[in-house]
Amino acid sequence: MAAFRKYPVCLVRKLKLLLAVSGILLLSGCYYLQAARGQLEVLGKREPVDEVIADSGTPEDLARRLELLRDARQFAIDELGLPDNDSYRSYSDLERDYVVWNVFAAPEFSLEPKTWCYPIVGCVSYRGYFSERKARRHAERLAGRGYDVAVGGVAAYSTLGRFDDPILNTMMRWDDLRIVSTLFHELAHQVVYVKDDTAFNESFATAVEEIGIRRWLDRHGGQGDMSAYRSRKQLQQTYVELVYAARADLEALYASELGVTDMRARKQARLARLRGEIEAALRAAGRSTDFWLTAELNNARLVPVALYEGRVPAFHALHAACGFELDCFYREVRALSELPADERHARLDELGGGKRQELVGRARSFGLPTAPVSYGRGHRVAPTETGSGWRLRFR
C-alpha cells in the first residue's frame, strides 16, 4: 500500500495547483477564484488516515469507519483493479455538511440541461460552488431568466487523480455500504474519463460502484447486508423507471404544439403525478418521503437521473460480455471512450438494447440490475459530471 506523503510531493503538488489556478484566473475571475480557494481548503485540511485512526482524540465511530475505508481502499486495488495512488488515504474535516453545492438548470419546456464549460474537464451540466449561499444566488439568477433550477449538496467528488483526494467528513453521515460504494465510484473516474460526456463518465462509475460493492459484500458482508443492498437497488431501479417514464411523457409534451398556458399546466400535472408515484414507492418500502416534500420537482431535478443512471445497464452488459472480467471490461470501456461521440452513443444504445438481452441472464446470475431503461422519444442523454446533489440514494 502506498503511504501518504507530506513532503516534498505535497508541496510540489500545491505549487502546481497554484500555478494552474493563476492561469485559470486569467481566463475568468470570481467563479474560478472561489473554486481554487475551496479546493485548497480541502487539500490543506488533509491528515493521513493512519494518523487520524491512531489519534486518541478521534471519536471511536470515526476511527472505525476510517479503518473500514482503509480496507476498502486496498480492496479497490487488489480486487477491482482501481488506481494504487494516494487518493483517499487522507482525511479532511471541513466542518460543514457538504463539500460543494451543485446548480442544475434546464429550460421551462425542455429536459436538455444547461451546460457550462471549464478547462481540463470540458463541458458539464452543472455549476459547482464551495458556498451554498453563492450556489443559491446563482440559481436565483438563472430562475430569473426563466430556467427551472435545482441546488443540491455534494458530499464527495473526484479531481480525476490530478490531486490526492481525501476522504471527507461530509461522507461520514452515510451508512457503511454507502461510503464504501462512493469510494469505488470516485476511484472509477480515475480509470476512464471522457471530456464533454459526463453521462458516460457517471454511468461507468456507477457500474463500477455496483460491481465493486457486490464483490465487497461477497467477501465481507453477511446475508443481511446482501439482502439490504439488493432491496436498496430494487428501490433505486423503481425510482429510475418512474423518472424515465415521466421524462418520456414530458418530452412528448414539449415537442407538441400546445400553447404555453396549457403546456405549463400539463407539465405540472405530470410532475405532480411523478411526485406521488415516488412517494408511494418510498412509503411501500418503509422509506422517508421527506426528500420529495422539501424541494420543487421540475425539469432541472430530472437531469441527474439521466447522467448517473441512464447508461448503467449498457456498462453492465459490457461487463457481462467480458465474462465479468474487470481487465477486459476496463479495456473495452477505454476503447469506447476513444470513439467519436456519435459512435460511442450508438454503441451504448446497442449494448443497452437488443444486444444486451443476450447477456441479461448472465448479469442476473451475478445479482446486478438488468432492467432496460427507456429514453423516450428522440432522447439522447446529455453530458455532465461527478457528484449530484439530486441523485437519490437509498439507505
CA-CA-CA-CA torsion for 386, 292, 376, 370, nearest 10 degrees?
A: 70
Q: How far is CA 213 from CA 15, 79, 82, 160, 352, in A?
A: 36, 11, 13, 21, 22
Q: What does the pLDDT read at residue 270?
A: 97
Consecutive 10-residue averages of pLDDT for the chain (395 residues):
43 50 53 89 96 97 97 97 96 96 96 87 88 96 97 90 94 91 95 89 92 91 74 85 93 96 98 94 86 80 74 92 96 96 93 52 38 30 34 41
Q: How far is CA 260 from CA 81, 264, 266, 319, in A?
A: 52, 6, 10, 45
Q: Which of 385, 386, 379, 319 is nearest to 349 (CA)?
A: 379
Q: Which residues pair with 124 in a beta bridge?
A: 116
Provide the greatest CA pair distance for the chain.
Answer: 67
Strands 167-168 and 90-92: parallel
CA distance 231 to 369: 11
Q: What does the pLDDT read at residue 13?
A: 53
Amino acid at 16: K
Question: Could you list the residue range(s) of the whole structural domain that residue 301 is in?
Answer: 223-365
Q: What does the pLDDT read at residue 261?
A: 97
3-state secondary structure 46-106: EEEHHHHHHCCCCCHHHHHHHHHHHHHHHHHHHCCCCCCCCCCCEEECCCCCCCEEEEEEE
CB under 8 Å to 218, separation ≥6 — which residues?
none
Cell triple for residue 8?
Answer: 516534498
Whether residue 385 contacts residue 121, with contact meaning beta carbons closer than 8 Å, is answered with yes
144: in domain = no
171: in domain = no
3: in domain = no
* Length in residues, the chain: 395
Q: What does the pLDDT read at residue 227?
A: 80
Number of domains forming the structure of the chain: 1
46: in domain = no
CA angle 166, 171, 172 (to 5 degrees): 110
CB under 8 Å to 278, separation ≥6 — which residues?
239, 242, 243, 292
CA-CA-CA-CA torsion for 116, 120, 122, 125, nearest 10 degrees?
A: -50
288: in domain = yes
Q: What does the pLDDT read at residue 285?
A: 87
CA distance 363 to 228: 19
CA angle 298, 300, 303 (to 5 degrees): 120
Q: With a threshold of 0.85, does the pTM exceed it?
A: no
Q: What does the pLDDT read at residue 11?
A: 45
Q: What does the pLDDT read at residue 393?
A: 43
Cell triple for residue 184?
Answer: 469505488
72: in domain = no
Q: What does the pLDDT read at residue 293?
A: 62
80: in domain = no
Cell triple for residue 274?
Answer: 411523478
Phi, psi of 93 (to 5 degrees): -100, 105
120: in domain = no
